[in-house]
Amino acid sequence: MIRIAMIGCGAIGAGVLELLKGDRDLAVHWVVLPPGEHANACDAATRDAPQALVVNSIAGEQGVDLLVECAGHHAIEQHVIPALERGIPCLVASVGALSAPGMAQRLEQAAQRGRTQVQLLSGAIGGIDALAAARIGGLDSVVYTGRKPPHAWKGTPAERDCDLDALTEARCIFEGSAEQAAQLYPKNANVAATLSFAGIGLQRTRVQLFADPGVTENVHHVEARGTFGSLELTLRGRPLPANPKTSALTVYSIVRALANRGRALAI
């Protein structure tokens, strides 16, 4: 059995707990939350992970085999880096956090000091394995286009630039590098950052983001070219009912990564 500490228990974390309910190989023993958020998490943990303790930190906890982050960018600094330095392997869902200057290097150095590994999860996008393999032979370009319904962009800089409720056709709300996209739209552009780390980097990966009243799903389109040939992928991801900014596939990717750690056969 792998004893898992999970950082965060919002829509993503609650979805993970539900899918792991009753799993004998993978058990969430700790749910880590800041003070004041315990009530909602306790409901999810009591229902789907009754063995889990709700704590503020794993700093004083013993026997943690694996930490999985699904809490947002702030959790990288507060929880992931200290866990890596203690030698605890970590899975990171909030890949967009690594667009902050020096953050990727800090994670790598913390893992090296702890003689362990941090794994960046694919989240809402597919084809990461192919893109990472293509990089070995040489990539020339990677272009990502993301489309979401207008309401999914509320609370972002797009809201200042246009009336999202009044849109009648697709509106490009951002065009630039993946680095800029991840910084301006941290809760929506994890995909762009993930593609960048698998491919040609944050500065060279080009991104377009659209608020599109003609779609009801989160539509991700990737084009890549290089020595390997070319790749084109379109993924229409359904959002989590509890959070329209997040794809349901993000939850599934976390559970898959956990299963690959705990099963005898992995793919």
DSSP-assigned letters across all residues of 180-222: HHHHH-TTT-HHHHHHHHHTT-TTTSEEEEEE-TT-SSEEEEE
Whether pLDDT at 47 is above 90: no
List the chain domain ranges. Answer: 2-120, 128-245
**pLDDT value of position 72:** 81
What is the rounded CA–CA span in Å between residue 97 and residue 103?
7
Residue 257, pLDDT above cutoff 90: yes
Q: Is 189 annotated as a binding residue?
A: no
Answer whether 2-120 and 128-245 agree in fold: no
For the cut 90, the answer to whether the pLDDT of residue 109 exceeds it is yes
Instruction: Select 2-120's CATH number: 3.40.1190.20, 3.40.50.300, 3.40.50.620, 3.40.50.720.
Output: 3.40.50.720
Of residues 116 and 241, the one with the higher pLDDT is: 116
Higher-confidence residue of 1 and 83: namely 83
Alpha carbon separation from 198 to 54, 77, 119, 203, 249 (Å, rounded): 34, 22, 12, 13, 18
Within 8 A by CB and 6+ apart from 34, the residues are 56
CATH number of 128-245: 3.30.360.10
* Residue 259: band (very low, low, confident or very high) from pLDDT cuts 50, 70, 90: very high
- For residue 176, what are the contacts with CB-CB under 8 A and spacing of at least 6? 206, 207
pTM score, whole prediction: 0.90
pLDDT category at 239 given cuts 50, 70, 90 is: confident
The span from the CA of 237 to the CA of 241, in Å, is 12
Confidence of residue 146 (pLDDT cuts 50, 70, 90): very high
Active site residues: 220
Sequence letter at residue 117: Q
> Side chain identity at 122, as an amino acid letter?
S
Q: In this predicted structure, what is the pLDDT of residue 262?
A: 82
The pLDDT of residue 242 is 75
More confident call, 37 vs 184:
184
Predicted local confidence at residue 46, as pLDDT: 74
Find the helix or strand (DSSP H, E) in which 133 lies. helix 128-137
Cα 114 to Cα 82, 109, 219, 267: the distances in Å are: 9, 9, 38, 26
Query: Largest alpha-carbon pair distance within the chain?
Result: 55
pLDDT band at 49 (very low <50, low <70, confident <90, very high): confident
Any known ligand binding at 192?
no
Provide the pLDDT for residue 207.
96
